[in-house]
Amino acid sequence: MMSRTNLLLTGLIMCGPGIAAEEVRPGVFRTPDERFENLQDYPFEPHYVDVDSKLGKLRVHYVDVGPRDADPILLMHGEPSWSYLYRNMIPPLVAAGHRVIAPDLIGFGRSDKPAKRTDHSYPNHVDWMTQFVTMLDLQDVTLFCQDWGSLIGLRLVTGAPDRFARIVAGNAALPAGPGKDGVLIGTEWNQPDPNARLKFEEGFMPWVKYSQTAPELDCGLILQLATIKELTQAEADAYRAPFPDERYMSGPRVMPTLVRSQMATNRQAWKVLARFDKPFLTTFSDSDPITKGGEKVFQKRVPGAKGQPHTIIRNASHFLQEDASEQLAMIINDLIAVNHHGVQPSDPGGSQRRNKMPAATDLSSHGVTQADLDGLDAIMLDAIKKGTITGCSYLVAHKGEVVYRKAHGEFTTDERVPLASVSKPFAASVIMALAEQGKLDLEDPVEKYLPEFKGIRVKGSEKPARPMTIRHVLSHMAGFWGNKGISREKIGLIRDFSQTLEESVKGAARYELIHEPGTKWTYSGIGYCVAGRVAEAALGDQSFEKVSRDALFRPMGMNDTTFAPTPEHPFILVGGSLRSTLDDMAVFGQMHLCDGEYNGKQYLSQASVTDQRRLQIPEERSKAPGLGWHRGFPDEDGLADLLFISGATGPRFQVDRRRQTVTVFLVRTSLQKVVPLFTDLNLHVEKIFSVANDR
């Protein structure tokens, strides 16, 4: 890490005069390619298109990664940054199956740089990016925009709203206040001021003045001053890379003065936004003096903003892509998943029966005090204060009553949250219910229901593999490949939500297995898709959503638990795209705790629940799998007394027979960030609830 002082000194050395300029035509500069070699965490191949201008053709650089047939995410940067700003957001967006496009505005990054300030008008930049989007023929776009990326990006939306499926606006604006258009140039700003200092915390106008009077604009230093995290020297240098000297700087110099130069046109654009009813989500940060509070106008005026899970990013400054890259990527992925699945507030009329565990009225009967439970508050609030998360919820049930149910930060106790891999015990339980109804048998070969698997082979073998069974696919023993280090085509089998589950599974059947079914455990997303497709076929090609609802969710009153496919995006990731709430999950966990019974009714047989607790692989191991669950603390019969599972989006679900507890932790962030948090919560629960004497 480098201090801000060292960043400034290094910037003055690196950005000094005397660099040989690359002038591709009179008045147009192009940063030499060697300036972009070996940049930290920026391995992306360059792509280029030429757009028309009064100066002739101008080259626009852009990052373009991910499946070309996937709906695109368009990441629009502000100034004085470039697409390097998105280097940490791009990988998790691509990993979720999306195509990600991050252009450099003209005058920035690897794009061409007109030398005259007058070439950089607001309308010109809108026109250049409009040409860019048109030339790539981008459709069903998810736009993320920040800073000037929003001033330009939102104009792209209002110019062609049908191209855009949803918008995420972070520290964004579309200035359209009263008054005439104007370029912000103070009469006292005509000469460089050697004493100019940027005091970012003082707001917008001091920044404009600094941009006009500072003898040199050190983009590495500017990014650091507008970011809470400490940039490394290599990161700061990457922000300096596009600008060898002042001849390349007309874009960063002039853009701050143009913010209010299109007020009248923007007022017309706002009329279009006032009719934009597709999802519009705000993700502003809590420590940006430039845009703080600006989210309110979007939430009030854009119809598509209503009912969205708007977020204030904690401990983040103006360039929140640096301070909260992982969280932003998760928010974008989640918004797309929700929109693709068509999730709506369930049962708006309130007619469907809901089961909800009763709240404890006497804590002493559970052997705990309020002070004991207050410790859970302290753990979560500390994580929010440290910036680990922006909010979460947690529920603890003991002996059939809820003793703790709270949310903190940017979260509520009623939110329906993506469960990722926590979907698996629910899906496995649905299959168990179908087996009890005689619709299928866990020992049935998959090919009985899905003939495309007949004769499938193990890689390197000439003979067909032994038939995989339904039990094999539920226990990750079917011979399928894992979820990491696989081809783009295999990723698409579990990430393309425009396909059907049938199409996904038929696609999987075209590939060879990596080992004989029943011989080796490999955690695989496609296996649960096969199990779900078997269930569909066994019930006459009903969707797995309907199968799940009819077999288990509706009878148990779990009406907020859904995969919710739509005609446009019918795919169900059986082991990964379920959504649920604290209360529904608590009911489901209590049913498993009580051997299939809940509230006086048997939903699964004791034999089925016992089977899910039993080891499904040849030997015990860490996270030894049952059916849907991971297992811990096997009893003398080898049955797990602890069932647990976590998901990539952060949830943790646990059923502890030793303590007679069910715990549910819900959050929206990456699993890696919250493992210490939910571990501390569960350890606290273990501390205050002793192991039952009869265990």
Question: Which residues are catalytically annotated?
Answer: 147, 288, 318
Tokens of residue 347, six digits: 């049962």
Give, in order, the Cα–Cα distances in Å from 546 to each of 350, 494, 667. 19, 20, 27
Give, in order, the Cα–Cα distances in Å from 320 to each of 31, 40, 172, 324, 669. 26, 19, 11, 5, 15
Report, in angstroms and rounded to the nearest whole number, the Rg of the chain calculated over CA atoms: 28
Block residue for tokens 């130069």 = 261
Please name which of 531, 533, 525 lies closest in space to residue 472, comparing C-alpha atoms: 531
Q: Are 229 and 89 in contact (CB under 8 A)?
A: no
What's the full length of the chain, in residues?
Answer: 695
* Reduced DSSP (H G I as helix, E B as strand, rest coil) percent helix, strand, coil of the chain, to 5: 40, 15, 45
Tokens of residue 642, six digits: 């602890």
Give 419's DSSP letter. Answer: -
Residue spans of beta strands (DSSP E) within 204-344: 280-285, 311-313
Type of residue numbered 342: G
- CB-CB neighbours of 296 under 10 Å: 11
First to last CA, the chain: 52
Strand-pair partners of 145? 76, 169
Please name which of 675, 669, 676 lies closest in space to residue 313, comparing C-alpha atoms: 669
637-645 long-range contacts, CB within 8 A, separation 24+: 638/614, 639/610, 639/613, 639/614, 640/613, 640/614, 640/615, 641/695, 643/425, 643/592, 643/612, 643/613, 645/421, 645/422, 645/424, 645/425
- CB-CB neighbours of 205 under 10 Å: 11
642-646 long-range contacts, CB within 8 A, separation 24+: 643/425, 643/592, 643/612, 643/613, 645/421, 645/422, 645/424, 645/425, 646/421, 646/422, 646/671, 646/675, 646/678
DSSP notation for 495-532: H-TTS-HHHHHHHHTTSPBSS-TTS-----HHHHHHHH
Q: Rounded distance, CA 611 to CA 631, Å?
A: 12
Type of residue numbered 254: V
Which residues does 51 contact at the CB level (< 8 Å), separation at least 6? 57, 58, 60, 106, 127, 128, 131, 132, 135
- CB-CB neighbours of 665 under 10 Å: 25
Q: Are 480 and 526 in contact (CB under 8 A)?
A: yes
Tokens of residue 329, six digits: 């990527």
Helix axes 122-136, 148-159, angle to 10 degrees: 60
Between strands 280-285 and 23-25, the pairing is unpaired
Which helix (H) or strand (E) segment holds residue 661: the answer is strand 661-667
